[in-house]
């Protein structure tokens, strides 16, 4: 479903372009969940931003194929419409726009590109209620401005509600577990499984800690260091990292 080959990318900085990804190769098949772990500054978020098409990130070499199409040719909104979802390490706040408005706009914009009719208010609310319940989110929270005044955990759960509504084929989740307490971690983990565990979907889960992987069992675990994948294994690799640290394992 996602095939990244020899990806080199640099980020624009005040001092000029800085190379971050350095020959990254990775393939995720439909039905699989892969975890990416790695030390601070390894390039994990850069990988997520690059795949999302964020401005300021330039690909200097390599290719990315998503569902048979050249992902790098697509604009960010076209990537989303093609079924790519990005969950961010730091979800943005949007004062003045309610969650319900935001989610309905997003869902209908995507349906339009897919050639589907927009959801009516009633249809949308039914869908939103269903996904909110999955993440144990109160409907009152969906009426509040997007993420404004939400705790770290609430922002992450809100993002998973958004993922449930958009129903992507492929999700890249960047440290979705950061800042979650134990109960929220389980709720978010269960949410990821409920929304994304499917033979025709796949997930790239970027995480620092093995504990999320107790709830969302990865098929493969990769270590990203110095801008490339340096080691790949099964779930046991995450346990080994937790015990021995990156320096010993990678
Ligand atoms: P990770 O998510 O693995 O912790 P990042 O992808 O965020 O790492 O960052 C990789 C490296 O790129 C780090 O050294 C970081 O400081 C640097 N970097 C990322 N974005 C920028 C930027 N906009 N300006 C300067 N350096 C950056
Ligand atoms: Mg980091
Ligand atoms: Mg990061």
Domain containing 225 — which CATH number? 3.40.50.300
pLDDT at 91: 78
Q: Is residue 221 part of a domain?
A: yes
136 belongs to a structural domain: no
Average the pLDDT over 72-93 and give the result.
87
Ligand minimally distant from the alpha carbon of residue 44: 1
Q: Is 157 domain-assigned?
A: no
Asked whether the predicted pLDDT for residue 42 surpasses 80, the reply is yes
Domain-located, residue 72: yes
pTM: 0.93
pLDDT greater than 80 at residue 159: yes
Inside any domain, residue 241: yes
Contact 201, 169 (CB under 8 A): yes
Residue 64 has pLDDT above 90, yes or no: yes
Q: How far is the CA of 54 from the centre of ligand 3 (A)?
A: 14
Residue 111 lies in a domain: no
Please report the pLDDT score of residue 134 as a whole number. 93
Tens digit of each residue's pLDDT (9 = 90 or more) over 73-82: 999 988 988 9
Q: So what's the pLDDT on residue 210?
A: 87
Question: Counting atoms of ligand 1 from 1, which one is nearest the CA of 174?
Answer: 2
Mean pLDDT over the full length of the chain: 93
pLDDT digits (tens, 9 = 90+) for 176-187: 888 888 999 999
Please report the DSSP string for 2-50 in residue order.
EEEEEEEEEEEETTEEEEEEEEEEEEE-TT-EEEEE--TTSSHHHHHHH
**Whether pLDDT at 94 is above 90:** no
Domain membership flag for residue 107: no
Residues with CB under 6 A from ligand 1: 11, 13, 18, 20, 38, 40-46
pLDDT at 23 over 90: yes
Residue 109 within any structural domain of the chain: no
State which residues form the domain around 35: 2-92+168-249
Max CA distance (Å), the chain? 55
Structural domain count, the chain:
1
Residues 220 and 234 sit within 8 Å (Cβ to Cβ): yes
């Amino acid at each position: 479903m996602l095939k990244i080959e020899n990806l080199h990318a640099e980020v624009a900085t005040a001092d000029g372009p800085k190379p971050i990804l350095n020959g990254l190769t990775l393939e995720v098949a439909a039905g699989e969940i892969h975890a990416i772990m790695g030390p601070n500054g390894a390039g994990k978020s850069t990988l997520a931003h690059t795949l999302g098409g964020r401005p300021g990130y330039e690909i200097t070499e390599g290719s990315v194929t998503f569902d048979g199409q050249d992902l790098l040719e697509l604009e960010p909104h076209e990537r989303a419409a093609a079924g790519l979802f990005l969950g961010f390490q730091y979800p943005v706040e949007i004062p003045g726009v309610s969650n319900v408005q935001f989610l309905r706009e997003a869902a209908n914009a995507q349906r339009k590109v897919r050639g589907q009719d927009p959801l009516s208010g009633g249809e949308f609310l039914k869908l939103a209620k269903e996904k909110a319940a999955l993440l144990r989110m109160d409907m009152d929270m969906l009426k509040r401005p997007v993420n404004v005044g939400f705790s770290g955990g609430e922002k992450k759960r809100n993002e998973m509600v958004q993922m449930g509504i958009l129903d992507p084929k492929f999700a890249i989740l960047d440290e979705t577990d950061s800042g979650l307490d134990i109960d929220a971690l389980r709720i978010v983990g269960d949410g990821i499984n409920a929304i994304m565990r499917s033979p025709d979907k796949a997930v790239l889960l970027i995480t620092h800690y093995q504990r999320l992987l107790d709830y969302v069992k990865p098929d493969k675990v990769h270590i990203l260091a110095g801008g490339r994948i340096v080691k790949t294994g099964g779930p046991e690799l995450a346990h080994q990292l937790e015990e021995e640290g990156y320096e010993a394992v990678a």
